[in-house]
């Protein structure tokens, strides 16, 4: 038995469901800032109780009916007006709560309805099923439940002077280690600054923002964070955390346009969110596939920092944006390859974005790229060369290794034929990574290798790898190099074909230039692998813009 503060016995304990945050509107109604799900669920339970009692012909208590709807005095006319106790003010609800409260028919099939309608209908049906199973819709059992539900279920109502205070309280009580939904808070902040007569416009445009991010399967808070870093004056020395986003917008409402021009602000957010969704999907700002952004998807993993620069450059004409995408691919790959810390290049991207947003023409873009991208690539030249020279299958993830081989192979083919195939052609399941010196050799292969004791050190080297069509790869054995050469000649990939022969078409043709640094091999030794690794390094410097950035290609002996 429990007792109250006066030692009176309490036969049944109370149940606390938390706090709600409200403020009053101009009509003295409560606007709910926090607690919508709890109040909506409670309201649906009351409606389900009423309908269960009506269904068995029982009298419905007047106080239960008053909790669903009642008549109040209109402060403007003095006349009585009928109103529901709870009204949802977002379009997705499609009036479903009012239908349930009025005992109107609710749809049997909600497949075509919004998610909100489906959730509300499901909650109502769950309540009706609970009452039927637990109390068998018996009024003598339903009414005590109604009494317990309305008298013993408790909550705390926090009433604030206005919406600003309500939002601040909401932010405070929700800051318990759980990520604050800054998207909802920002939406509320926008509505605070928008005249009520114009509410429909921000509702519609906000839905565009949410849909763009949802369709890209991205995190809304990451988008907002990158948006701030791309377009606004965030302190780059300390950065901004996701749980600081709403506070930043609230404190800078005037400078970002929320205070005086909320509709213009949300329009900018709509444009940015659509572009962001396209970038994540490997497309440019207009939704056209972009080979460089698709390539970034192939090796970047979960990294998204580069989206800051792409957002800042989304306004660029298509040719300049294509150049930006190429520079971004080159630099992000260089950062990934050289193990640069992500917080370092995020800060770089945010700093460079502040100038990029003002670039409008080719001359300005060229100057910007020289100042930032090319100088950054040049600064990583030594690390880039080191990692490519030492690369093995053990030093990099397999999906990134495939990307490297695919880019190198694609580059040679494109230079030769001037007809670029998409990177996915080289990354498909029909293309295998071939170990020229077999990983699982026969005894004769191992014994005839010039450094048999170090065999295991040479098989994972980048220079020992090439791409080979599956149809060819499955037909060759793990034998000696001489036995494999005829198969390499059959490959349509010039980088692989060049292992066995140097393709020649005419004199000083595009193809000859493409394979100028690729010499075929008579045998496959430790020196051959080291030579080819050096060949691939020279090629990689051209592929990822290191030679372009430094202005001085390295000269190394790469002959077989």
Where is average pLDDT lowest: 194-203, 209-218, 272-281, 461-470? 194-203
At 340-357, the pLDDT tens digits run: 888 888 899 999 999 999
Let me know: does 148 contact 46? Beta carbons within 8 Å. Answer: no
Q: Is the pLDDT of residue 57 over 70?
A: yes
Across 456-477, average pLDDT: 89
DSSP 33: E
At 494-545, the pLDDT tens digits run: 999 999 988 776 555 776 776 777 888 999 999 999 999 999 999 999 999 9
At 91-128, the pLDDT tens digits run: 556 688 888 988 887 777 666 677 778 888 899 999 99
Let me know: does 520 contact 501? Beta carbons within 8 Å. Answer: yes
Tell me the range of 82-96, 166-180, 481-495 where mean pLDDT is highest. 481-495
Give me the pLDDT at residue 331, please.
95
Across 223-231, average pLDDT: 94
Q: Is the pLDDT of residue 438 over 80?
A: yes
Helix (H, G, I), strand (E, B) or coil at 119: helix
Across 41-53, average pLDDT: 93
Higher pLDDT, 451 or 176: 451
Where is average pLDDT lowest: 1-10, 127-136, 444-453? 1-10
Q: Is the pLDDT of residue 560 over 50?
A: no
Specify the long-range contacts of residues 239-247, CB closer than 8 Å, at least 24 apart: 239/343, 239/346, 239/347, 239/350, 242/179, 242/182, 243/175, 243/179, 243/180, 243/182, 245/182, 245/186, 245/221, 246/171, 246/180, 246/182, 246/185, 246/186, 246/189, 247/171
Q: Could you tell me what percent of the chain has a pLDDT over 90?
A: 47
Q: Which two tokens stand for residue 348?
A: 């770089």
Q: pTM for this one?
A: 0.70
> What confidence tier does 163 reach under pLDDT thresholds 50, 70, 90?
low
Across 433-444, average pLDDT: 90
Q: Is the pLDDT of residue 337 over 70?
A: yes
Q: Which residues lie across from 157 on neighbouring strands?
A: 20
Higher pLDDT, 95 or 366: 366
> What confidence tier does 558 reach under pLDDT thresholds 50, 70, 90?
very low
Across 10-25, average pLDDT: 79
Across 258-264, average pLDDT: 85
Where is average pLDDT lowest: 35-44, 166-175, 454-463, 515-524? 166-175
Which of 514, 489, 511, 512 is CA-nearest to residue 500?
A: 489
Helix (H, G, I), strand (E, B) or coil at 451: coil
> What confidence tier does 559 reach under pLDDT thresholds 50, 70, 90?
very low
Let me know: does 532 contact 488? Beta carbons within 8 Å. Answer: no
Q: Is the pLDDT of residue 251 over 90?
A: no
> What confidence tier does 557 reach under pLDDT thresholds 50, 70, 90?
very low
Q: State the chain's mean pLDDT as an integer.
A: 85
Helix (H, G, I), strand (E, B) or coil at 178: coil
Give me the pLDDT at residue 467, please.
96
> What confidence tier does 27 reach under pLDDT thresholds 50, 70, 90?
confident
Q: How many helices (H) and strands (E) does the chain have?
A: 29, 9
Across 366-382, average pLDDT: 95
Give me the pLDDT at residue 506, please.
59
d(CA 473, CA 469): 6
Q: Could you tell me what percent of the chain has a pLDDT over 70?
A: 87
């Amino acid at each position: 038995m429990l007792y109250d503060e006066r030692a009176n016995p309490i036969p049944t304990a109370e149940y606390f469901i938390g706090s709600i945050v409200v403020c009053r509107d101009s009509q003295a109604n409560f606007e709910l800032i926090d607690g919508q799900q709890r109040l909506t669920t409670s309201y649906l339970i009351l409606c389900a109780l009423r309908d269960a009692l009506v269904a068995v012909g029982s009298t419905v208590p007047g106080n239960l009916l008053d909790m669903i709807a009642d008549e109040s005095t209109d402060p403007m006319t003095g006349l009585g007006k009928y109103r529901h106790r709870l009204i949802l003010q977002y379009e997705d609800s499609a009036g479903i709560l009012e239908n349930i409260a009025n005992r109107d028919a609710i749809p049997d099939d909600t497949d075509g309805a919004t998610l909100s309608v489906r959730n509300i209908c499901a909650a109502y049906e769950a309540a009706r099923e609970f009452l039927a199973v637990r109390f068998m819709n018996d009024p003598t059992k339903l009414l005590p439940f109604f009494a317990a539900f309305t008298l013993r279920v408790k909550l705390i109502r926090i009433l604030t002077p206005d919406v600003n205070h309500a939002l601040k309280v909401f932010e405070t009580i929700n800051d318990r280690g759980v990520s604050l939904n800054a998207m909802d808070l920002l939406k509320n902040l926008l509505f605070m600054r928008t005249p009520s007569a114009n509410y429909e416009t921000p509702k519609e445009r906000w839905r565009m923002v949410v849909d763009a991010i949802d369709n890209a399967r991205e995190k809304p808070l990451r988008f907002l964070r990158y948006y701030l870093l791309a377009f606004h004056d965030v302190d780059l020395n300390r950065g901004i955390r996701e749980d600081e986003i709403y506070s930043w917008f609230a404190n800078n409402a005037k400078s970002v346009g929320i205070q005086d021009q909320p509709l213009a602000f949300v329009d900018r957010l709509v444009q940015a969110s659509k572009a962001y969704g396209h970038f994540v999907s490997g497309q440019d700002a207009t939704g056209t596939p972009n080979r460089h952004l698709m390539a970034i998807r192939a090796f970047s993993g979960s990294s998204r920092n580069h989206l800051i620069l792409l957002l800042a450059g989304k306004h660029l004409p298509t040719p300049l944006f294509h150049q930006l995408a190429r520079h971004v691919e080159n630099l992000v790959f260089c950062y990934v390859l050289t193990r640069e810390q992500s917080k370092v290049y995020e800060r770089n991207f945010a700093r460079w974005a502040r100038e990029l947003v003002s670039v409008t023409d080719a001359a300005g873009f060229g100057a910007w790229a020289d100042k930032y991208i090319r100088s950054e690539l040049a600064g990583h030249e030594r690390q880039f060369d080191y990692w490519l020279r030492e690369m093995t299958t053990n030093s990099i993830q397999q999906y990134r290794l495939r990307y490297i081989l695919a880019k190198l192979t694609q580059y040679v083919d494109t230079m030769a034929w001037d007809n670029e195939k998409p990177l996915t052609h080289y990354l498909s399941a029909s293309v295998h990574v071939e170990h020229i010196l077999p990983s699982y050799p026969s005894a004769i292969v191992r014994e005839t290798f010039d450094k048999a004791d170090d065999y295991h050190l040479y098989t994972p080297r980048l220079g020992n790898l090439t791409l080979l069509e599956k149809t060819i790869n499955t037909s060759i054995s793990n034998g000696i190099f001489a036995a494999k050469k005829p198969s390499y000649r059959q490959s349509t990939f010039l980088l692989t074909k060049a292992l066995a022969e140097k393709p020649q078409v005419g004199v000083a043709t595009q193809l000859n230039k493409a394979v100028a640094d690729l010499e075929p091999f008579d045998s496959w030794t430790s020196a051959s692998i080291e030579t080819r690794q050096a060949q691939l390094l020279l090629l990689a410097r051209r592929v990822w813009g290191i030679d372009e950035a430094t202005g001085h290609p390295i000269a190394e002996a790469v002959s077989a």
